[in-house]
Amino acid sequence: MARSLIGAVVAVTGGGRGIGAATAAALARAGAKVALGDIDLAAAEQTANRIGSGAIALPLDVSESRGFTEFLDDVEQRLGPIDALVNNAGIMPLHRIEDEADAMTARILAINLHAVIHGSREAVRRMKSRGMGHIVNVASVAAKIPFPGGATYAATKSGVFGFSEAIRAELNGSGIEVSCVLPGFVRTDLAAGLKEVKGFKPIAADDVASAIVDVLRCPRFEVFVPRHVGPTLRFGTLAGRRFGEWLQRVLKAESPMLDAVDSPERAAYEKRAAGGGAP
């Protein structure tokens, strides 16, 4: 039976815009009590005000572990014990690997991977004694199809998938569910300047939000958005690496990130992702 989200306390990281904002809104419509954490507090507050339904906005820089812990403490003090954590915050700067500064590499790892590990660990510590809870980690199809131009990004999303799979096994029987959501190209700032790939039409943030709400209601581990991507990737795996590489070339799927590296359409996003504003 589908689980009710009415009254459930859900914390969403990166809730100020994009997938996080859409997810927070969808959760509120489902009756959940939602806390939006974002480094851009003004954006989070605007989103919370737009959502209504008692949604709250709190400052959160996921790259600072102590601050992340304090964010979760604050959520629990204001809304009650956390029933679900959606680790959504992430950045996708694009570089050829020889041009990527070490500081940028560290920043991508800190936000996209270490923060997911830390947030999940904190959630488990809070949920385990209650024998219930759900952790949803947002990865990407890049975890399965690593595109040139986003090597470090792909590494972090592969790490999120592997980490999620491992803790799911650890938590078997504990009452804590773990899910990993793998969206394709989503029409948010992260995808600014990226050309469309045949078979991978850009999707809306609302599509990902709906998938997250669905998996909280009916828990399962691996969730592709759109759904047809999963079977496509499994077929490619069975067909072998050479077939997969040939298919990438035919679809011209190996180049969208590289082509967007120097795109002026990405300038504003790249500045924010580098720390020149909230990602």
Q: How far is CA 269 from the centre of its chain?
A: 17
pLDDT band with cut points at 50, 70 and 90 for residue 180: very high
- How large is the average pLDDT for residues 174-202? 81
pTM of the model: 0.89
Where along the chain do its domains lie?
9-276
> pLDDT tens, 131-165?
999 999 999 988 988 888 899 999 999 999 999 99
Q: In the chain, what is the straight-line distance between the N-terminal and C-terminal CA atoms, in Å?
A: 37
Cα–Cα separations (whole angstroms), residue 6 to 33, 54, 72, 148, 157: 8, 13, 20, 42, 31
CB within 8 A of 96, min separation 6: which ones? 149, 258, 261
* Alpha-carbon gap, residue 70 to 87, rounded angstroms: 15
Say what the pLDDT of residue 278 is. 46
The pLDDT, as a whole number, for residue 45 is: 98
Please choose, from the candidates 143, 181, 158, the residue with its C-alpha nearest in 3D space to the C-alpha of residue 26.
181
In CATH terms, the fold of domain 9-276 is: Rossmann fold (3.40.50)
What positions carry a catalytic annotation? Answer: 153
88-112 pLDDT tens trace: 999 999 989 999 999 999 999 999 9
